[in-house]
Amino acid sequence: MNIDTLKTTAQAMVAPGRGILAMDESSPTCNKRFEGLGIPTTIEMRREYRTMLVSSPGLGDHIGGAILFDETLRDHTTDGRSFVQALQEQGIVPGIKVDTGAKDLALHPGEKVTEGLDGLGPRLAEYSELGARFAKWRAVYTVTDSLPSQACYTANAHALARYAALCQENDIVPIVEPEVLIDGNHDLGRSFEVTQHAQHTVFAALADQDVDLRGIVLKPSMVISGAGAADRAGIREVAQETLRCLSSTVPAAVPGIAFLSGGQSDEEATQHLNAMNEIGGSLPWAVTFSYGRALQAAAMKRWAGHSDNVESARQVAFHRAQMNGAAALGQYSSEMEKAA
């Protein structure tokens, strides 16, 4: 493990005013989004769509890293460059999703554990050869009055830590992603409790596996009311409670925290990030974004599978990246949406 390499990569991913573009949807997930918009679900269309995204002019001003799916890391853009090369030309570090999905957790109905550790060492070595400098592994936690179980916390933390150690051994920065799902009626307090315990458990497991925290990026969910909660907390409260939670769990050695959007609307995700950076003061880590849906949804809708729409879709993608880049500095305002 070369800690200097890991630190350099992590710093580039979460550099000031930059965040991460999560475009690592598996083919079935990408197809599901396409179906919703009537776009043909072929590899050619996925290639066209992803080419549109990575070729958006100026994207690298606000995006430090992009997470790819296996198919894309091995693929070429419609103009014949590898996706890795297309990202590098924009100054964007290429990364790769390496987990093989959340599967049912034995003896725990309604809960999931993320799989993919078998053979991961050699896979990471190959991904590194292909140009990936960081990786992603997502654990999910379902919230009810009685869940998550301790079994779910422990199993997912253990897998995240084993994955992170394998990444570091291959000089690949692990994005460690414990996602507390927004689905459900839980209130902000319950989201805080579950998020805090998930993060505590993850950092204990990372320590057990001797993971060097200077060479990871944490990708958490925000402390937020459940999507179906009767009285959902406002922007400021979400930002405050999220920062209070992270301050109690995340050591200062971690260079960056890059949030997932997890089903929030585009502007809501931007507003929450901005509020955190506004009220944050001198936080020990960079606080930025690693959004999937909240960065892509509007651009995908604009593109809708028609080559005539590529240019305007690129502008839409750039705009969302720019808004979130501003939010990562605490310099976003809703007037900037209208101005655009």
**DSSP run (H or E) holding 136:** strand 134-141
Closest CA to 139 of 130, 148, 131: 148
**Token pair for 208:** 């057990």
By the 8 A CB rule, do 270 and 332 touch? yes
- Whole-Å CA distances, 105 to 97, 152, 285: 21, 7, 33
Residue 175 CB, shortest distance to ligand 13P, in Å, is 8
For 150, residues 6+ apart whose C-beta sits below 8 A from its C-beta are: none
Residue least distant from ligand 13P (Cβ)? 292
The yes or no reply on residue 292 touching ligand 13P (CB under 6 A) is yes
CB-wise, 172 or 311, nearer to ligand 13P? 172
- Residue 25 catalytic? no
CA 310 to chain centre: 24
- In whole angstroms, the minimum distance from the beta carbon of 107 to ligand 13P comes to 25
Number of H helices and E strands in the chain, helices first, is: 13, 10
Q: Considering the rule CB under 6 A, would residue 291 count as an interface residue with ligand 13P?
A: yes
- Least distance (Å) between residue 61 CB and ligand 13P: 20
**Can 219 be counted among the known catalytic residues?**
yes
Report the site for ligand 13P in 217-256 (rule: CB under 6 A). Answer: none
Residue count, binding to ligand 13P (CB under 6 A): 10
Binding mask 169-188 for ligand 13P (x = CB under 6 A): --------x-----------
In the set 219, 301, 311, 337, the catalytic residue is 219
Mask 136-165, x = binds ligand 13P (CB under 6 A)?
--x---------------------------
Cα angle at 60 between 56 and 65, to 5 degrees? 110
Would you call 229 helix, strand, or coil by DSSP? coil
Task: List residues near ligand 13P by CB under 6 A.
Answer: 22, 138, 177, 260-262, 291-294
Q: Give catalytic residues, as residue numbers.
A: 177, 219
